[in-house]
């Protein structure tokens, strides 16, 4: 991860930064640096003889140029000698293509219907790599969505698809995005090609029993899911799951699934396992519909008479989630100028995705602080309510 080390005493360095955006931890600090509409959480860590500047964990920013410029500006404000830097020289950032969206933009624009309309079949690929197969799906008569979390893959695909229409690149974990961001019965064909097989940790695989519930909800009646893998055990598990479900019927997979990985594995003489299944009925998922709702904000009233006292006495705290996974509040930071609090949290959801989220408290209200484009799911909302309850009990 990009970082800069500057020779400057830690306390003196903090005094040279804008105090209204500076949050103090027990041994470190965090600067909320805003550039355009994006908030960059910049971690400031003391080091013998200097201070390390880097983006806070969980900052999934596509625009690495703007992030680098923010790190460079922060280092310049410290007015110390740069001892080490992995950040490139300052350059002018390029505008982000309109086809790229975060979960927050996805919701703000009205999900898939607001972004691509309602006419034409909807084809979705999860984990599109360099975008080669995704490019072949794009057609004026179709609506196409590619879901990917890797910045490298997204930039590759956006470059490949420059000038094309009728598609959206959604930056999000695949299983999480299908569960929380797509309306019921909205997808005609879903492609999952060469998901990571996790040979030593099969429990982390995407395609497992809970995933079938998600697929059954987002596919329309007659909708298809197409999968491919070079891993025999994974292929057998996938086949057992789908063929054991009363909702899905096996069908012949497409002959052509040309991807970089397919060419790589076949050139090594490996066998490729292609599978396809059609949703035969209406089907329903285990969760209630209101538990798949996703929100832009979730303000909670939390009275904190003495925020500084809470910060000084804070210790990390967490609990398991009812649906599986866990939630943990890792740290609490305090802004003396604004008398506000910032909680750094991590949530592992039932889809095994890790989400690092900032919760911001000011004037009696706690809510999410969106940096790269986060939103609030049902598990996070429940976790926030438990945190709010714990804070209230601590001041009674």
List all residues 6 or more positions away from 147 whose beta carbon is below 8 Å from its beta carbon. 124, 125, 126, 127, 128, 170, 172, 174, 177, 178
Residue 261: its pLDDT value, please?
A: 78
Burial class (CB in 10 A: 0-12, 13-18, 19+), 297: exposed
pLDDT less than 50: residues of the chain: 287, 396
Q: What is the pLDDT of residues 167-187, one digit of tens each?
A: 999 999 999 999 999 999 999
Do 300 and 365 touch, CB atoms closer than 8 A?
A: yes
pLDDT at 325: 86
**Are 324 and 287 in contact, with CB atoms under 8 Å apart?**
no
Which pLDDT belongs to residue 88? 84
d(CA 372, CA 300): 22
What is the pLDDT, as a whole number, of residue 350? 73
Q: Provide DSSP, 208-232.
A: SHHHHHHHHHHEEEEEEEEEEES-H
Residue 288 pLDDT:
53
Cβ neighbours of 231 (radius 10 Å):
21
CA distance 379 to 106: 19
pLDDT of 66:
87
Is-contact 342 23, C-beta < 8 A?
yes
Count of Cβ atoms closer than 10 Å to residue 56 Cβ: 18
Q: So what's the pLDDT on residue 394?
A: 75
pLDDT at 301: 95
Q: Which pLDDT value is given to residue 233? A: 95
pLDDT of residue 231: 92
**pLDDT for residue 286:** 52
Beta bridge partners of 55: 42
The whole-model pTM stands at: 0.92
Contact (CB, 8 A) for 227 and 208: no
The whole-number pLDDT of residue 221 equals 93
What domains, with CATH codes, occur in the chain?
Answer: 3-85 (3.30.310), 100-288 (3.40.50.150), 295-394 (2.30.30)
**Helices within the chain (DSSP H only):** 10-15, 64-78, 103-108, 111-116, 132-137, 151-160, 174-181, 209-218, 232-243, 260-267, 307-313, 378-394
Q: So what's the pLDDT on residue 218?
A: 95
């Amino acid at each position: 991860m990009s970082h800069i080390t500057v020779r400057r005493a830690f306390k003196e360095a903090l005094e040279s930064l804008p105090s209204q955006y500076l949050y103090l931890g027990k041994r470190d600090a965090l600067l909320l640096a805003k550039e355009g509409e994006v908030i960059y959480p910049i971690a400031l860590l003391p080091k013998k003889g200097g201070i390390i500047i880097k983006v806070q964990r969980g900052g999934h920013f596509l625009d690495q140029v703007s992030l680098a410029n923010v790190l460079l500006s922060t280092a310049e404000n410290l007015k110390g000698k740069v001892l080490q830097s992995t950040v490139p020289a300052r350059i002018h950032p390029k505008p982000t293509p309109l086809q790229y969206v975060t979960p927050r933009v996805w919701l703000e624009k009205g999900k898939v219907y607001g972004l691509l309309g309602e006419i034409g079949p909807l084809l979705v690929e999860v984990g599109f790599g360099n975008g080669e197969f995704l490019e072949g799906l794009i057609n004026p008569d179709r609506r196409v969505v590619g879901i990917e979390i890797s910045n490298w893959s997204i930039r590759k695909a956006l470059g490949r698809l420059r000038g094309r229409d009728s598609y959206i690149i959604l930056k999000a974990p695949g299983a999480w995005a299908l569960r929380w961001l797509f309306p019921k019965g909205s997808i005609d064909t879903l492609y999952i090609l060469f998901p990571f097989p996790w040979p030593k940790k099969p429990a982390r695989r995407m395609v497992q029993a809970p995933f079938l519930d998600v697929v059954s909800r987002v596919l329309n009646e007659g909708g298809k899911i197409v999968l491919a893998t070079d891993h025999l055990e994974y292929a057998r598990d996938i086949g057992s799951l789908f063929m054991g479900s009363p909702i899905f019927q096996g069908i012949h997979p497409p002959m052509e699934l040309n991807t970089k990985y397919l060419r790589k594995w076949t050139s090594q003489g490996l066998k490729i396992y292609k599978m396809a299944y059609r949703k035969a009925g209406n089907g329903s998922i285990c969760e209630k519909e209101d538990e798949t709702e996703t929100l832009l904000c979730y303000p909670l009233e939390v009275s904190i008479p003495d925020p500084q006292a809470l910060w000084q006495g804070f210790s990390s705290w967490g609990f398991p989630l009812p649906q599986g996974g866990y939630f943990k509040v890792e740290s609490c930071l305090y802004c003396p100028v604004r008398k506000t609090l910032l909680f750094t949290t991590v949530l592992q959801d039932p889809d095994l995705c890790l989400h690092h989220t900032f919760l911001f408290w000011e004037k009696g209200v706690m809510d999410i602080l969106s940096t790269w484009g986060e939103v609030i799911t049902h598990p996070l909302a429940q976790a926030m309510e438990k945190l709010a309850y714990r804070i209230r009990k601590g001041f009674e």
